Amino acid sequence: MSAATGDAQYVTLGLGAEVFAVPVEYVREILDYQPPSALPEGPAYLLGLTDVRGRATPTLDLRLKLGLAAAPPTLSTRILVLDVPVEGRQLSLGLVADRVIEVAAFSAEQVEPAPDIGVPWRSDYMKGVVRRESGFVVVFDLARLLTSQEAAALPVDRAA
């Protein structure tokens, strides 16, 4: 959080018409989309491994993870490389998004509790929602995006 404003910074990203946000402190970098190297017998949302500066990083299709329809990559498709604390370890992870929109500041007062019905994705992945003139921004709870079993099953960050 910025001490001067009390606002937290978020990277906003789009999946179709929906807008989501992840805390900027977890975002290591944003990459142009390159198809990940496939992993055999992984869940459908695990696209494979992406080489991020010499390290093999598990890469998830955020659309499939949220139960949305798959979409082919476009020139706007990006991979957000995140470092997320999960179960006492740092998990490096790539999330594929249709597009990255901006870095936005939201105050704690702007983040409303997540609704538990009426959304087309699993609401347990949501920390809350922020109302904007253009609609809602869904703030992810990144630690809950993967269950502990899913996180344990992902390949550990290693040299590619």
- Read off the DSSP letter of residue 158: E
* Domains of the chain, earliest start first: 7-153 (2.40.50.180)
**Taking all residues of the chain, what is their mean pLDDT, rounded to a whole number?**
84
Of 56-70, 75-89, 108-122, the least confident: 108-122
How far CA 9 is from CA of 52, 73, 85, 104, in Å, comes to 24, 27, 18, 6
Per-residue confidence (pLDDT) for residue 116, from 0 to 100: 62
The mean pLDDT of 57-86, rounded to a whole number, is 92
Per-residue confidence (pLDDT) for residue 49, from 0 to 100: 95
Instruction: With beta carbons less than 8 A apart as the criterion, state whether 9 and 110 touch.
Output: no
Q: What CA–CA distance (Å, rounded) separates 37 from 49? A: 5
Confidence of residue 93 (pLDDT cuts 50, 70, 90): very high
Residue 66: burial class (beta carbons within 10 Å; 0-12, 13-18, 19+): buried
Q: What is the pTM of this model?
A: 0.84
**pLDDT, tens only, 13-52:** 999 999 999 999 999 999 999 999 998 888 889 999 999 9
